[in-house]
Structure 1
């Protein structure tokens, strides 16, 4: 029962993590990590040296600190808008400009006073998230409406046409936003005012719990929780005493938020205890020096904790347990706080406890709480590590939707240079970029079968285009991209995605042999280095399929590249043998491992000569030391020919069509279970 619930949670969590909006938020906040570090250090510097009290000569440093955090909503707005626009496939500059315009025109964040533009950072904090979502999604919808298009002809460049066609969608989004905002804002103000007038008699502990949950939920949704809470909440629930002499400020900084919001010391230590958690440990190393001074933004935004369903429960639970135990320790007299003692928030753990209490008991309590926080976070981080989309996988989740953008950018320069002589080619390229922009690249896997045992002995990774309606197409666009020397974009995608997929096979306890294609020009011009970097750790598991033309065009260079790959335990195969030059003299000089006989060589039942040729060609390849694979076997008659040729490895529709990664993993697991059952019986 518990396993079923956990599996269901994992499926939901993966869907949430891969959601376009959540993915964009995560990208947006990761892009702001340098800002968070610099801003936190500026704040720390100002607080530590008490710059504000130094007088006029140092006032600019204090002003700079206020300005940096005052820009936080605007920077969040820009970064989130950019990445959301990119993933929604709308213009990544035009969309943020539109969002900024609507945000500043409505929220009061920027206003004019005495002819001078000023900033009120208390305004529009929550709208820094809502405005990009509303404007970007609305713009994405409107640009698809043909009625709003001004230019439909291809006599001007794709770049210019796209921007002209943004005019009416721009106007529509702006008009709708300006019309709806007063109603939305008035409703929000009415709701907030109503809540303020609800007279609740809260104890100190009740106020503490409300503050903890509110600030942490705001942080979870990507908003700076502490600042936002103090802006929105009345002073009665932001400044109060916990016990007789402890201000809530000191209670939180010394006994609850150990390492910063979310008790990140617990996250950091738990990350180091996880085996193989490279992503989590890398972030923990970056966060460690800042956590010493209770700065947690890096861990919150880079792990991330923001919009991370796996971490939400411990993120709330750890500070709540710290608050409960510390509140009991103070109220029962186990720990006594020195009255009127002031300890800055950036004071390191243990030292702050000693300064506030002059008691070793308080330090021991902190040690116990940190250990408890580690125990709370550890199982959730372990689940997150096993099931999350992070590191390289996150990059590929983004890349699978961005190949069209990259190609489109290159297409614009091609258009400008060769406008007169490449009208037709540009039209074809436009069709390709439109198709890629409206869909997503992915890899499918066609099983390679052992004819004798019927088992799966590997896969070929095949490129597919998944359209917006869910239908899947083959890579019909490769010829057009090859003409424009843009295949490197596709090759890089395949290499990166295959690396991620091999990691997913490994997570399932599987290590299948997988082959893939790469364009000869890319391979020989240095692309093999990327292959080596990606697959060296998957020793003897990956096979690169080369076309015979690679050897014909530059034999010496191809021999050298294949040797480099084989030294890195990456196998090589000749793909589609029999469709190109098929020069038999080359066979004796090849340094590859496998030869794949193309389907076109398979004879029909009435052609005895072609059957004899196929059989002897297969035997020749075997005698020369090559492994042979029969491609495109679709009928029982063709299978008989392959068997007669004594070829053991086959692939084709007769056995399996290409399938998505999840189906490939499931197929291997089924074969594995069947083999185990057969051996046990």
Structure 2
């Protein structure tokens, strides 16, 4: 068994190091975290305007009064992500980040149609459609931001800048330094948009959405792809690597896009289109005690196992585990490189996720509405907030019970194998 684990570790560690040190994945992760506080505010507004005890009239009044709180945050999330990518990637190249973010955002808007069609088919000019600044424009926004920031940074690092005397205030000097690189970058995107709209009568938004975003989102929303992602999260953690960060850096763009599509449908009073989304992954996997759903494990250790060493670890980890922080049990049990508990560690999240998906698919529990719930919100409460239903909280409690049943015999083996004096 040890030879087998060593062989897997030898294959996984180089891949994990590549993912963990990849400039673009790191920038993408940081860009989404930049948008997190803003989207969290929007989620709170959505929860307030859709409280389950309100009638339709009351919801309508609250939506009229507070609706901008969501429209100006979650509905235009792509804007924050685009700026974040431009900012962090430019900083990575030691170029002024604020100007890199501004150029990336402007490049994205250059490719965005300033018109929309009404339901009656009438075209309205000089307007921006919210969906192109939200879920529908997410992938084009990310692609544009990376390319724009790359171009801007390369032009800057080549020295194509207007250098001002030292006596000029720094803010003015930085603006002049950004003038040529920024202008060149924006001209490239303006020319691209002119060719597409003038010659081919199309826009890049629709092309990217149909060719790239829809297929990727369709794949990412499937149960199979989700189980593969979860499996690698668990496997990486087993070898002491932060599986959540490594896998999420790849999957977050897809899961966040699914989340925005759910929220837009929910706000419009339509059925939520996706079960799998960022809210689903945060609430019904991490939200059950952290990576690996270990709240049940901590409870069993603290109150069921006999050996003092396990009781102590369980009780020390319980406070953090309630808020879904489980490093104390991952490294204190330990879970890392502990072959005895490899099976429940890998299988319990997969089994619970399948169950959650199926009960939502048949309608016993509503799918998450797209509201962003902080992953530190305790079990039951996060489930209610994510689904806007008490059934979401009840499902989480059932999940904890299922995880406990899966883990229990393996924890008993650990307890019996431990030194009696410990």
TM-score by length of 1: 0.36
Question: What CA distance in whole angstroms lies between the structure 2 residues aligned with 1:192 and 1:81?
Answer: 21
Q: Distance in 1 between matches of 2:92 and 2:38?
A: 23
Find the counterpart in structure 2 of residue 87 from structure 1: 92
SS at match of 2:97: coil
1:171 aligns with 2:191: no
Query: Who wins on radius of gyration, i.e. which is larger?
Result: 1
CA contact (8 A) 1:219 1:225 kept: no
Find the residue that maps to 1:90 and give its secondary structure.
coil
Give the equivalent residue in structure 2 for 1:124: 137
CA displacement at 1:264 relative to structure 2: 2.9
Task: Report the Cα offset of residue 178 of structure 1.
Answer: 2.8
**CA offset at residue 141 of structure 1?**
0.7
Question: Secondary structure at the residue paired with 1:65?
Answer: helix
2:65 to 44, 60, 65: 60
Report which of the two has the higher share of strand. Answer: 1
Q: Is the 8 A contact 2:86 2:101 kept in 1?
A: yes
- 1:264 and 2:287 aligned: yes
Greater helix proportion: 2
Residue in structure 1 matched with residue 76 of structure 2 by the alignment: 71
Contact 2:26 2:249 in 1 (8 A): no
Decide whether aligned partners of structure 1 residues 53 and 161 sit closer, same or farther in structure 2, where only a CA change above 3 A counts.
same
8 Å CA contact 1:70–1:119 kept in 2: the answer is: yes
Map 1:75-474; keep pairs closer than 5 Å.
Answer: 75-108=80-113, 113=124, 119-120=130-131, 121-146=134-159, 148-151=160-163, 160-180=172-192, 182=196, 187-188=207-208, 191=211, 209=223, 212=226, 220-223=250-253, 224-228=256-260, 257=280, 260=283, 262-267=285-290, 270=294, 321-325=351-355, 348=381, 365-371=398-404
Counterpart Cα distance in 1 of 2:56 and 2:359: 35
Determine if contact 1:108/1:123 at 8 Å carries over to the other structure: no
- How far apart in 2 are the matches of 1:28 and 1:108? 24
Contact 1:77–1:100 at 8 Å: present in 2 too?
A: yes
CA distance in 2, matches of 1:110, 1:283: 50
- Asked if structure 2 preserves the Cα contact closer than 8 Å seen for 1:27 and 1:83, the reply is yes
Question: Take 2:367 and 2:210, find their aligned partners in 1: how far apart are those partners?
Answer: 38
Structure number with higher relative contact order (C-alpha < 8 Å, ≥ 6 residues apart): 2
Q: CA deviation at 1:173?
A: 0.8
CA distance in 2, matches of 1:326, 1:315: 18
Structure 1's 187 and 330: CA in aligned 2 closer, same or farther, altered over 3 A?
Answer: closer
Give per-residue Cα distances to partners, 1:189-211, cap 9 Å, x unaligned.
56369969xxx9xxxxx985368
2:43 to 27, 30, 40: 40
Q: Is this contact kept in 2: 1:73–1:125, CA < 8 A?
A: yes
In 2, the alpha carbon distance for the partners of 1:281 and 1:21 equals 36
- Report the Cα distance in structure 2 between the residues aligned to 1:282 and 1:178, rounded to whole angstroms: 54
Give me the whole-angstrom Cα distance separating, in 1, the residues matched to 2:223 and 2:142.
25
Distance across 2 between alignment mates of 1:265 and 1:248? 24
The alpha carbon displacement at 1:48 in A equals: 1.8
The CA deviation string for residues 308-349 of structure 1, in whole angstroms up to 9 with x for no partner, is: xxxxxx999876533534678999xxxx977xx979868748
1:389 corresponding residue in structure 2: none
Q: CA RMSD in A?
A: 5.5
Is this contact kept in 2: 1:51–1:61, CA < 8 A?
Answer: no
Q: Deviations over 1:215-257 (max 9, x none)?
A: 9988844331423565999xxxx97xxxxxxx987x779xx94
In the aligned structure 1, how far is the partner of 2:273 from the partner of 2:130?
29
Q: Which runs of 5+ in 2 are unaligned?
A: 117-122, 197-202, 231-246, 299-309, 326-343, 372-379, 409-422
Superposed CA deviations along residues 605-659 of structure 1, whole A, max 9, x for unmatched, are xxxxxxxxxxxxxxxxxxxxxxxxxxxxxxxxxxxxxxxxxxxxxxxxxxxxxxx
- After superposition, the C-alpha distances for 1:383-408 in whole angstroms (9 at most, x for unaligned) are xxxxxxxxxxxxxxxxxxxxxxxxxx
**Matches of 2:382 and 2:172, distance apart in 1:** 57
In 1, the alpha carbon distance for the partners of 2:221 and 2:163 equals 59
User: Do the aligned partners of residues 329 and 96 (structure 1) sit closer, same or farther apart at CA in structure 2, a change above 3 Å counting?
Assistant: closer
Q: 1:24 & 1:319 partners in 2: Cα distance? A: 28
Displacement after TM superposition at 1:51 (Å): 7.5
What is the CA distance between 1:161 and its match in structure 2? 4.4
What's 1:394 paired with?
none
Shift of 1:142: 0.9
1:106 CA drift (Å): 0.9
- In the TM superposition, residue 91 of structure 1 has moved relative to its aligned partner by 1.4
Q: Residue 186 of structure 2: SS of its match in structure 1?
A: helix
User: 1: CA distance between counterparts of 2:96 and 2:214?
Assistant: 40
Question: What is the SS of the residue equivalent to 1:222?
Answer: helix
Q: How many residues align?
A: 314
Instruction: Verify the 8 A CA contact 1:102 1:174 in the aligned structure 2.
Output: yes
Alignment pair present for 1:6 and 2:9: yes
Superposed displacement of residue 165, structure 1: 3.3
**Contact 2:49 2:66 survives alignment (8 Å):** yes
Write the deviation string for residues 65-118 of structure 1: whole angstroms up to 9, x where unpaired.
Answer: 343311211122223322222222111221111111111121348879565666
SS in 1 for 2:6: helix
Does the 8 Å CA contact 2:152/2:185 hold for their aligned counterparts? yes
